[in-house]
């Protein structure tokens, strides 16, 4: 039996930060990780560059987390983006802001972020137990006993659960924290994929696999509900559509799919131009380039690979000469440029989502401390808590902020 003041389960960003913060006050902290290294998921974030926070305001962060946003207010107030930047700078890692306020290490390598966490853990003498998986927690009087999958058991006065979500399972986040929380009386909001590519009914998408669309706007329609994206990027895949705009709205779309089999999606391929502007542009082109085939004229307007699919959809022959295109056909081209149709029928499974929607209900957690309202002495931080934000560094900041608050409060409340 190993005995400690505070046991933190899971060495992702939330767990490392919780352990570091708790140990800073001199408390005896054990950080338990099932892998043989810390931050396995952190290593693959931001395509290996780790978009670890955003320069946006606290209010923007709160909005990004939707219904659960307000729950994170105290955590963000306690430890926010500027604190995080300083935290890394203090160990010699400068961060830089890129477009849309996304913050990355200047090295462009997630490894440098992990190395700083390792330095802090060592400096604060956190006892990191690798290759140790927690399968259950028992409460005995003032103490918790953590059941491990090996022979070792751990006894702690306070426990912080930071086991992450249930996606990209090879990184170690297989959803154990949800099971343990439920066993201890916590409600878990049903898990669903967030930040996930979407499947479409149209089989031709596979012909466009890998084709990126820049400066487009998406509109999803489901019954009387409509969601419109900002202008940004999307990408065709062999099963449907992905890319930043899709991932960011996918949480809402997955919710719609719970009650609707199909969701209508239209892509505005020319969001900067109104229909009348497109019409006059087209008329000019038709006058100047009347003798060329429509497929060639369209090259000024659409990515080359998309043209056969686009014209087939409108039943216009690719070889038709531009001056033979009827007024109706011209109108249908313009309408389709403004609303290129797709039918969303599903998403990839949670295992392939970047973030887990759902999780331990915020109703059972005190937002001022991250302590369980059901089991005193038990804390939660990071993705194990319900609520997910779009891409942009918001989810990692949530993990660092809630980890910091949980670590601090667990240490303060020890006596």
Count residues binding ligand FAD (CB under 6 A). Answer: 38
Q: Please tell me whether residue 42 binds ligand FAD under the rule CB under 6 A.
A: yes
Taking the complex as a whole, the smallest distance from the CB of residue 260 to ligand FAD amounts, in Å, to: 27
Strands 225-236 and 240-242, how do they pair? Answer: antiparallel
| Contact predicate 226/219, CB 8 Å | yes
9 binds ligand FAD (CB under 6 A): yes
- The answer to whether 44 contacts ligand FAD (rule: CB under 6 A) is yes
- As a whole number of angstroms, the distance between CA 251 and CA 228 comes to 14
Please report whether residue 362 would count as binding ligand FAD according to CB under 6 A.
Answer: no
Shortest distance, CB of residue 184 to ligand FAD, whole angstroms? Answer: 14
The verdict on 347 binding ligand FAD (CB under 6 A) reads no
Beta-carbon contacts of 161 under 8 Å, excluding residues fewer than 6 positions away, are 9, 10, 177, 180, 181, 360, 378, 379, 380, 381, 384
Question: Interface with ligand FAD includes 390 (CB under 6 A)?
Answer: no
- The reply on whether position 172 binds ligand FAD by CB under 6 A is yes
Q: Are strands 154-161 and 2-9 parallel, antiparallel or unpaired?
A: parallel
Question: Smallest distance from the beta carbon of 133 to ligand FAD, in angstroms?
Answer: 4
HSE-up of residue 273 (Cα within 13 Å, Cβ side) = 16
Task: For the CB of residue 329, give the shortest distance to ligand FAD in the complex, in Å.
Answer: 43
Rule CB under 6 A: is residue 248 a binding residue for ligand FAD? no
**Cβ-contact 108, 45 below 8 angstroms:** no
Interface with ligand FAD by CB under 6 A: which range of 119-127, 261-269, 333-341, 390-398?
390-398
Pick the binder of ligand FAD from 87, 120, 144, 168 (CB under 6 A). Answer: 168
Q: Which helix (H) or strand (E) holds 7?
A: strand 2-9
C-beta neighbour count of 96 within 10 angstroms: 12
Q: Where are the alpha helices (DSSP H) in 28-151?
A: 40-44, 58-64, 73-78, 81-89, 110-123
Query: 62: which 2 tokens?
Result: 């709160």
Kindly tell me the sign of the dihedral angle through the C-alpha atoms of 240, 194, 102, 268.
positive
Binding status of residue 268 toward ligand FAD by CB under 6 A: no
Segment near ligand FAD (CB under 6 A); pick from 7-15, 266-274, 339-347, 404-412? 7-15
C-beta closer to ligand FAD: residue 257 or 355: 355
229 near ligand FAD, rule: CB under 6 A: no
Q: Strands (DSSP E) along 269-370, which ranges?
A: 340-347, 355-360
Does residue 399 touch ligand FAD according to CB under 6 A? yes
CA–CA gap between residue 411 and residue 408 (Å, rounded): 5
**Rounded least distance, CB 366 to ligand FAD, Å:** 18
CB of 406 to ligand FAD, least distance (A): 11
CA pair distance 240, 345, nearest whole angstrom: 9
Closer CB to ligand FAD, residue 266 or residue 398? 398
Least distance between ligand FAD and beta carbon 131 (Å) = 9
Find the binder of ligand FAD among 5, 7, 21, 45 (CB under 6 A).
Answer: 45
Q: Following CA atoms 251, 257, 263, 266 in sequence, which dihedral angle do they give, to the nearest 10 degrees?
A: 10
**Paired tokens of 109:** 């390598």
Asked if 162 touches ligand FAD (CB under 6 A), the answer is yes
Q: Whose structure tokens read 């959809």?
A: 313
Residues binding ligand FAD (CB under 6 A): 9-15, 32-35, 40-42, 44-46, 50-51, 133-134, 162-164, 167-168, 172-173, 176, 354-355, 382-383, 393-396, 399
């Amino acid at each position: 039996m190993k005995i400690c003041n505070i046991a933190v389960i899971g060495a992702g960003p939330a767990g490392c930060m919780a352990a570091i913060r708790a140990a800073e006050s001199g408390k005896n902290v054990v950080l338990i990780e099932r892998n043989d290294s810390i931050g396995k998921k952190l290593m693959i974030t931001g395509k290996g560059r780790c978009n670890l926070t955003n320069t946006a305001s606290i209010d923007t962060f709160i909005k990004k987390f939707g219904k659960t946003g307000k729950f994170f207010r105290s955590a963000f107030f306690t430890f926010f983006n500027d604190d995080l930047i300083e935290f890394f700078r203090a160990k010699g890692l400068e961060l830089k802001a890129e477009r849309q306020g996304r913050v990355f290490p200047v090295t462009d390598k997630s490894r440098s972020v992990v190395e700083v966490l390792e330095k802090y853990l060592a400096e604060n003498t956190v006892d990191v137990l690798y290759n140790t998986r927690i399968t259950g927690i028992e409460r005995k009087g003032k103490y918790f006993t953590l059941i491990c999958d090996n022979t070792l058991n751990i006894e702690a006065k306070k426990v912080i659960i930071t086991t992450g979500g249930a996606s990209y399972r090879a990184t170690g986040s297989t959803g154990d924290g949800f099971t343990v929380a439920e066993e201890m009386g916590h409600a878990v909001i049903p898990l669903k994929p967030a930040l996930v590519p979407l499947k479409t009914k149209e089989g031709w998408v596979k012909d466009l696999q890998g084709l990126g669309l820049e400066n487009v706007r998406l509109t999803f329609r489901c019954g009387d509900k409509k969601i419109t994206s900002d202008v940004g990027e999307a990408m065709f895949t062999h099963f449907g559509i992905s890319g930043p705009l899709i991932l960011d709205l996918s949480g809402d779309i997955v919710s719609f799919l719970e009650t609707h089999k199909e969701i209508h999606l239209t892509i505005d391929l020319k969001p900067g131009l109104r229909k009348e502007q497109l019409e006059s542009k087209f008329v000019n082109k038709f006058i100047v380039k009347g003798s060329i085939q429509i497929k060639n004229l369209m090259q000024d307007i659409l990515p080359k690979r998309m043209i056969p699919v686009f014209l087939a959809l409108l039943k216009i022959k690719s070889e038709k000469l531009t001056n033979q295109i009827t007024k109706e056909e011209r109108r249908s081209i313009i309408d389709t440029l403004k609303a290129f149709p797709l039918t969303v029928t599903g998403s990839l499974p949670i295992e392939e989502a970047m973030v887990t929607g759902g999780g331990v209900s915020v109703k059972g957690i005190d937002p001022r401390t991250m302590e369980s309202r059901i089991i005193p002495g038990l804390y939660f931080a990071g993705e194990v808590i319900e609520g997910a934000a779009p891409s942009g560094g918001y989810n990692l900041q949530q993990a660092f902020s809630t980890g910091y608050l949980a670590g601090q409060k667990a240490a303060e409340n020890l006596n």
